[in-house]
Amino acid sequence: MQNFLLTVDRLSTWIGKLFAWCIVGLTLMISWEVFSRYILNKPHSWMFDVQIMLYGTLFMTAGAYTLAKNGHVRGDVLYGFFQPRTQAAIDLVLYVLFFLPGVIALTYAGWHYFQDSLAMNEQTFNADPLPLYPFKLVIPFVGITLLLQGIVEIIRCVICLRTGQWPARDEDVEEVDVDKLKEMVNVKDEDIQALDSLLPEKGGHV
């Protein structure tokens, strides 16, 4: 079961990191459009629509990734003081009552939304129209990834209720832990103080 949980975590992470490259595309496109508009005096009517679609894709595909890393906002003022079983019970109720119905509705409606857009060959409203259905396909895709990751989180809640401990998550980029960093490089506080003593005092000269 743990292998299944971590596999889904890695899938959500891979999807999130893959679509994170949208920010590179956004940066390059905005830079080029500024140059083209103000230096070459040749603006592109479709550029603004592309930027919106890329940003929307970036924002939506980060949902399952953030859920896999337990990074969504919650009221930790009280939640953090609860025992793991209490936390799991609260999370389980919220997932069943709010998360699952919302994500299922998003996936179902998003799929029909995409089908309608494809059937009518929906396009943007500008001088150089772009097809909208590829962007709208992102909605059910995101719904499926969120639903899969949500099921994994529900399983984690059940496991925690049975064992009293949260199952491990796949490791990812974390904030620097200074104490762990010191252990890794075998640096002691005394060494840092010795280095500090070699530095010139404030206001002095080297």
- State mean pLDDT over 40-58: 91
DSSP 17-77: HHHTTHHHHHHHHHHHHHHHHHTS----TTHHHHHHHHHHHHHHHHHHHHHHTT-S---HH
d(Cα 79, Cα 34) in Å, to the nearest integer? 46
What confidence tens digit (pLDDT) does each residue in 109-125 have? 999 999 999 999 999 88
d(Cα 137, Cα 20) in Å, to the nearest integer? 18
- Which pLDDT belongs to residue 162? 94
Banded pLDDT at 127 (limits 50, 70, 90):
confident
Polymer length of the chain = 206
Nearest CA-CA partner of 135 in 53, 21, 55, 58: 53
Q: What b/e sequence results for 46-64 when a residue is b if at least 16 CB atoms lie within 10 Å of its CB, and e otherwise?
A: ebebbeebbebbbebbbbb
Spatial contact of 44 and 129, defined as CB atoms under 8 Å apart: no
Spatial contact of 70 and 167, defined as CB atoms under 8 Å apart: no
Burial class (CB in 10 A: 0-12, 13-18, 19+), 161: middle
pLDDT higher than threshold 90 for residue 203: no
- Which pLDDT belongs to residue 192? 65
Spatial contact of 161 and 93, defined as CB atoms under 8 Å apart: no
pLDDT higher than threshold 60 for residue 191: yes
- Which pLDDT belongs to residue 89? 95
Coil, strand or helix at 203: coil
Higher pLDDT, 172 or 68: 68
Domain boundaries, the chain: 2-176
pLDDT higher than threshold 60 for residue 53: yes
Mention every residue, 6+ apart, whose C-beta is less than 8 A from residue 100: 147, 150, 154
What confidence tens digit (pLDDT) does each residue in 152-180 have? 999 999 999 999 999 988 765 555 555 66
- State mean pLDDT over 143-158: 96
